[in-house]
Each structure stands twice: as structure tokens, then as C-alpha cells.
Amino acid sequence: MGAHALDHDLDDLAASARAALVREIDASGAWDADPVWRSAFEAVPRHLFVPYYYVGVMGGHERRWGEDPDPHRREAWLRGAYADVPLATRMRDGELVSSSSQPSLMAKMLTELEVRDGDAVLEIGAGTGYNAALLGHRLGDDQVTTVDLDPEITESARRHLATAGHHPAVVTGDGARGVPERAPFDRIIATCTMTSIPRPWLAQCRPGARILAPLATGLIALRVREAGYAEGHFLHTPAFFVPLRGDTPPEPEPPRLGGLPYWARTDDLFRFLTILTAGSLDPYDAYALWEREHQPVRERYGVTVSGADAWAWLDDPQGPYAWPLP
């Protein structure tokens, strides 16, 4: 079989795999609140943004890539590109530094961003460029800015986007500082884990803007009420992302949970609480609170940012359970 026939077969496979992924996201209900995102996932070819990625194998990682001379391995790469799983796209000294997020989680986050026609969006963490392409399809490329600290990541994202026919603003810089030259923004979405909410983001937002960011294994959705003030609740969705790198506080050390019941130590919601309150609440006190409040779900927690102060809280920002954020 010639190379042209192989390429044609892969094009057909990509189309059918993309359609299957859309059906899978459909079934998850991720975009029920804004089904317009369905057309973005139908139109944007994910495989163009992951020309190679890494999968875990015994003793390390295996690289899958679209230029593999073995047609069976090329097919495995293509099928994997449309699996509803996160893909490790950049490793450095055995450490994951960039990835393509799970598509159904991306769909959920984009829906929760609550964009409207004409909104200007800032994405923190360029990754492969796939998320920026989805935003560009929905809003137009000129409304989208994506930023990343690593010039290798922004260069590859820019190249992937161009291959897919998209040209949003791709900026190399510290995402914690935002992109003031492209402000003001109506929406900010982060695709990397934060330790707190950077104040420059608020300063670069219009009143009424929405910020969606991973924090403490959850997703915080904030509404910016005025310059320097934002508040909102966590979504119910758990979220695990690569940490933001740059001019930000270091990640807190994971709390030591020895001595607590095993089921508590392994419970996702309890670990969320211990990470959210790390440095300000002893894990044993956190456990007592968690039991007393009937093991509260993520949606009961929230965050307030007011000037130089930022705090997490349970149920009420002025209530008895509040903890400072970095």
C-alpha cells in the first residue's frame, strides 16, 4: 500500500475517531448548558495538536508519534489522540511539564466559562494550543489570547494552531502576570493548577468577568465584581493539572495524614479540604471540621479575593470557617 493510501486511511480514521469522541462527550453531559461547544469539538482536529505524546509503560514512558514508519503504531497514535484521556505531551528529566487535558473535562470547563459572542478570553497555559483553537472556533481567533512561560511550548502551540488554520495571540510570559497589553478580558481560564488567584488577573478583567481556574484539586469559578474584588464557589468537578510555573509561590507540601482513618486519608473530598487549607489548618482539625459538617462536597466551598487579601471558606465568606490563601 502506498503512502498516499495510508494517509487517506488515517484521514478517514481521524474523522471517525473524532466523531466517536464527540458522542462520548455528548453522553457525559459536559456541554448540556451550552451545546454550541459540540460544533467546536466536531471541527477542531485534536491529532494536529498532539503530533506525539507519551504513554506509561513498564519502567517508564513510550513515545507515540504521527510520523512513525510502522503503520500500526501510527494508527495507535491516532486512536490515542481521540481517546477521552489526558495526554502527556512534554517530558523533561522524567517530569511532566505539559499535557493535553482530557477532552470531556475541557468541554466542561469551556461550558462553565459561560462565554458570550464578542467576549475576549485569556487562557493561562498554552499547552498544545488545542484549547485555544476550540475557543477561536467559538469566538474568533482575534478574541483569544493564550500565554505560557516556556518558549518551546508557545512555539509548538503556535505551529499546531497554524496547521489547524487558527491564529490567536500566543504570548510567551508568566501567566500569573496576565497579558496587560491584550486586556481588558471578559473571561480568564487557567489550564494549570494555581496556589492562589493572581491579583493582576483581576486588574485586567472587565466588571462582571468570569475566572475559572484549577485550585486544590477543584475548579473555582469567580465573578469579578469590580477592580480587585472577585468571589465564587467551586464546581463539583475534580481537576488535576500541571502546576503553573513562574513568578508564583511554591506548591504547598502535601499534608501528612498518618493517624487518621484510612478511608479519610484516601477520600477525595477530604484531601481537597486538606490541600485547600494547607498551612492554615492542621489536618486533624480539618478532619474534625469535615466530620462535623457531614463531609461537605466541593460546591460548599468558595474563594473571595479582595485587594491584597484572599481566603477560602465553607458556605459563607463571612462565616466561621475561612482560611487565608497564599
pLDDT in tens, the chain (326 residues): 444 444 567 889 999 999 999 999 999 999 988 889 999 999 999 999 999 999 876 667 788 999 999 999 999 999 999 999 999 998 777 677 778 999 999 999 999 999 999 999 999 999 999 999 999 999 999 999 999 999 999 999 999 999 999 999 999 999 999 999 999 999 999 999 998 999 999 999 999 999 999 999 999 999 999 889 999 999 999 998 888 766 555 555 556 777 788 777 788 999 999 999 988 888 889 999 999 999 999 999 999 999 999 999 999 999 999 999 97
Candidate list 98, 100, 156, 196, residue with the active-site label:
98
Q: E strands along the chain, which residues? A: 52-57, 60-65, 87-92, 95-100, 121-124, 144-148, 169-172, 185-190, 205-215, 218-226, 229-233, 301-306, 309-314, 322-324
pLDDT value of residue 246: 61
Inter-helix orientation angle 3-28/71-81, to 10°: 20
* CATH code 3.40.50.150 region(s) in the chain: 3-233
Contacts of 284 (CB under 8 A, 6+ apart): 259, 260
3-233, CATH topology level: Rossmann fold (3.40.50)
Q: Any bridge partners for residue 322, and if so which?
A: 313
pLDDT value of residue 90: 84
Tell me whether residue 98 is one of the annotated catalytic residues: yes
232 contacts 223 by C-beta, under 8 angstroms = yes
Q: Which residues of 128-160 are buried (b: 16+ CB within 10 A; e: fewer)?
A: bbbbbbbbbbbbebebbbbbbbbeebbebbbeb
pLDDT value of residue 3: 43
Using the structure block, give the residue that is written with the C-alpha cell 477525595: 268
pLDDT value of residue 244: 79
